[in-house]
Structure 1
Amino acid sequence: MITPAYCQTMARYNTWQNDQMAEAMARLSPEALSQDRGAFFGSILGTANHLLWADAMWLSRLTDLPKPDVAVTDSPSMTPTLAAWQAERFRMDGRLRLWAEDLGALDLTGDLTWFSGSTGREERRPMSVIVMHIFNHQIHHRGQIHAMLTAAGEDPGATDLFLMPQA
């Protein structure tokens, strides 16, 4: 269904998009970043924090990375400032890229079983579906952030995968 090369491409895409998003976020005031804009996680920073939280949670299920210290309901406040978010995002993107670079084809087979705090029960899904979910979840919430940044007057940059630099 998916390959290690797909995961590596999507991990690079994630880093590229997060870097562009961070540049646009840095042009806003702390108040504008924290302003409730009616999104599911409220603000631009709240949504970016939730995305950081989700990546940490999924990588904790796939690697030896520890789980986030906060629950999903508190994920919008995971980091208090843009600078703190940028530092954590940089680390998380590096971890995600290293995970993708170390994948073999067999790592993407079989099922993943975990306890979900969101559903309150043990879940079991094909690994390939979970990995696709991780990347789709990132794209979904970055799309929300992109819309909020645009509404705030900032240009978050290109998002088309084929425009990603090859570096």
Structure 2
Amino acid sequence: MLAQYNQVMNQQILDACAKLPNEALLQDMGAFFGSIMGTLNHLVNADELWLSRLLDRPHAVSALNEIRFSNLKTFGEMRAKLDQDLLAYVDALSDQHLHQPLRYTSLAANQTREESLHKVLLHLFNHQTHHRGQVTTLLFQKKVDPGVTDLVFLV
């Protein structure tokens, strides 16, 4: 359910962002990651990093605040791919998988950590919701209404 909600909301946010010129998306608005695109890039970076851990595959993330996508088109392509990968991953999980540990190396501290998979997934989707909330605030400041964002109304 959270993966589906995540995908729906990411597309809804992209649709709202498409109402603004690229310069407005890149404008530093004083948010934690500066701009709308800065915040969206952070989410892509974090998801790509978590998927690399979950699927044991390489990633292109060097920093969580790195701006790798400066326009909505290329960003949207990556966002859609990551959302599809997340949906496919969680669809293949069993209840037993959710209680298994996940060992990974943190990006910033380069330390090995271990956490149960269900906690990692809750963190991943909660992290998305947290930062999308920041993006919706930035969109409202630009006079763009992103629409209903409540889980109960969308999934």
TM-score range, shorter chain: over 0.9
TM-score (norm 1): 0.88
Deviates more, 1:57-66 or 1:11-20: 57-66
Deviation (angstroms), 1:69: 4.0
Supply the distance in 1 between the matched residues of 2:107 and 2:61 (Cα, whole angstroms): 13
Please provide the CA RMSD for this pair.
1.2
> Aligned pair 1:41/2:4, yes or no?
no
Deviation (angstroms), 1:119: 2.6
Identity rate, percent: 39
> Aligned pair 1:142/2:142, yes or no?
no
Supply the distance in 2 between the matched residues of 1:35 and 1:89 (Cα, whole angstroms): 20
In structure 1, which of residues 82, 95, 100 is the aligned counterpart of residue 85 of structure 2?
95
Aligned match of 2:73: 83
Supply the distance in 1 between the matched residues of 2:110 and 2:53 (Cα, whole angstroms): 16
In structure 2, which of residues 105, 108, 111 is the aligned counterpart of residue 121 of structure 1?
111
Q: Secondary structure at the match of 1:123?
A: strand
Contact 1:70 1:78 in 2 (8 A): no
Q: Deviations over 1:22-41 (max 9, x none)?
A: 01100001110000111111
In structure 2, list runs of 5 or more residues that go unmatched.
none
The 5 Å alignment of 1:59-74 reads: 59-74=51-66
The 1:35–1:118 alpha-carbon spacing in structure 2 relative to 1, beyond 3 Å, is: same
Q: Deviations over 1:37-57 (max 9, x none)?
A: 111111001100110111111
Q: Secondary structure at the match of 2:134?
A: helix
Q: Secondary structure at the match of 2:112?
A: strand
Q: Secondary structure at the match of 2:6?
A: helix
Moved over 6 A (4+): none
In structure 2, which of residues 10, 14, 17 is the aligned counterpart of residue 25 of structure 1?
17
Q: Deviations over 1:94-152 (max 9, x none)?
A: 11111111111111112211111223311112222111100100000100001100111
Contact 1:56 1:65 in 2 (8 A): no
